[in-house]
């Protein structure tokens, strides 16, 4: 299937979905007070843009998102590399991981509020926790799967020190798995951002909560679509970067 045909079919499917949605609302099958018709959304978006809430909310949420993603990814990848290379290190943190991993990110919200208050720090913490585990396990698995024959080959070519093997062998070989984990973390981070902001931190989640309390469902849907669009842009950019980094595999 050509790219043009794939895009065309996608656009056709989206158009059919919007027409069905519009028809169900206009016919009364879906109550307009509970779910707005797609035709109502442009006006709602324009009102939010004019009020300044839309831009301000995006700016705040992107700040929480990017800082939490960076913090969680760096810590997760770093610990994953260390434990992936050392059985001793993995055994040392095994029970800590078993203890903390099953705890949902939302369970940390009370502590985030106590430690950081209703602030950017708390939102970044919640996002970082969610991202950390995804990156940690993805990196651990990727490093563990590196062919040990490559290590012996590195010795033959003079890369005998641990830092040299890490840079020349381990990270390049584990890069596909690490990047796959990072891509998964991109979506998880958005969910964590919204969850953190629902508790009062300025951003898209807070604005959605304010709108829902006023039964302004058109505003809620506008921000849902905004989050979907932002994720789509970020994911597309990440895929382009990923393809450049892994060009050697082509």
Q: In whole angstroms, how large is the CA radius of gyration of the chain?
A: 22
Q: Are residues 81 and 158 in the same domain?
A: yes
pLDDT in tens, 16-50: 888 888 888 888 888 877 888 888 899 999 999 99
**pLDDT the model gives residue 160:** 62
**Average pLDDT, stretch 55-70?**
92
**Domain housing 27:** 1-35
**pLDDT the model gives residue 148:** 72
Q: Are residues 163 and 229 in the same domain?
A: yes
Q: Are residues 128 and 13 in the same domain?
A: no
What percent of the chain has pLDDT above 70? 92
SS (H, E, C) 81-112: HHHHHCHHHHHHHHHHHHHHCCCCHHHHHHHH
Q: Are residues 112 and 14 in the same domain?
A: no
Backbone dihedral region for residue 231 (phi beyond 0: left; psi -120 to 50: alpha; all else: beta): alpha
User: Which of the four pLDDT bands, split at 50, 70 and 90, describes residue 164?
Assistant: low
Q: Are residues 185 and 65 in the same domain?
A: yes
The count of domains in the chain is: 2
> CA 219, CA 208: separation in Å to the nearest integer?
7
CATH code where residue 213 lies: 1.10.3720.10
Q: Are residues 90 and 200 in the same domain?
A: yes
**pLDDT the model gives residue 101:** 86
**Average pLDDT, stretch 90-113?**
85
Residue 151 has pLDDT above 70, yes or no: no
Residue 107 has pLDDT above 80, yes or no: yes
Exposed/middle/buried for residue 240 (C-beta within 10 Å: 0-12, 13-18, 19+)? exposed
**pLDDT the model gives residue 226:** 93
């Amino acid at each position: 299937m050509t790219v043009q045909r794939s895009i065309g079919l996608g656009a056709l499917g989206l158009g059919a979905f919007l027409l069905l949605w519009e028809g169900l609302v206009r016919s009364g099958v879906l109550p307009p007070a509970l779910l707005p018709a797609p035709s109502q959304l442009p006006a709602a978006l324009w009102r939010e843009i004019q009020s300044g809430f839309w831009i301000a909310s995006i700016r705040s949420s992107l700040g929480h998102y990017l800082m939490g993603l960076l913090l969680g990814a760096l810590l997760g990848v770093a610990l994953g590399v260390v434990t992936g290379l050392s059985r001793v290190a993995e055994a040392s943190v095994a029970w800590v991981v078993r203890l903390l991993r099953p705890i949902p990110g939302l369970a940390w919200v009370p502590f985030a509020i106590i430690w950081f208050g209703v602030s950017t720090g708390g939102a970044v913490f919640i996002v970082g926790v969610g991202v950390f585990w995804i990156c940690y396990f993805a990196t651990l698995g990727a490093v563990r799967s590196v062919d040990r024959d490559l290590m012996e080959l590195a010795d033959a070519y003079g890369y005998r020190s641990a830092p040299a093997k890490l840079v020349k062998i381990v990270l390049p070989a584990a890069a596909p798995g690490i990047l796959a984990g990072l891509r998964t973390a991109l979506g998880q981070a958005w969910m964590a951002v919204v969850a953190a902001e629902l508790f009062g931190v300025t951003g898209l989640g807070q604005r959605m909560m304010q709108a829902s309390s006023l039964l302004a469902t058109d505003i809620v849907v506008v921000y849902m679509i905004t989050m979907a669009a932002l994720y789509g842009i970020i994911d597309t950019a990440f895929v382009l970067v990923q393809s450049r980094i892994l060009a050697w595999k082509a």
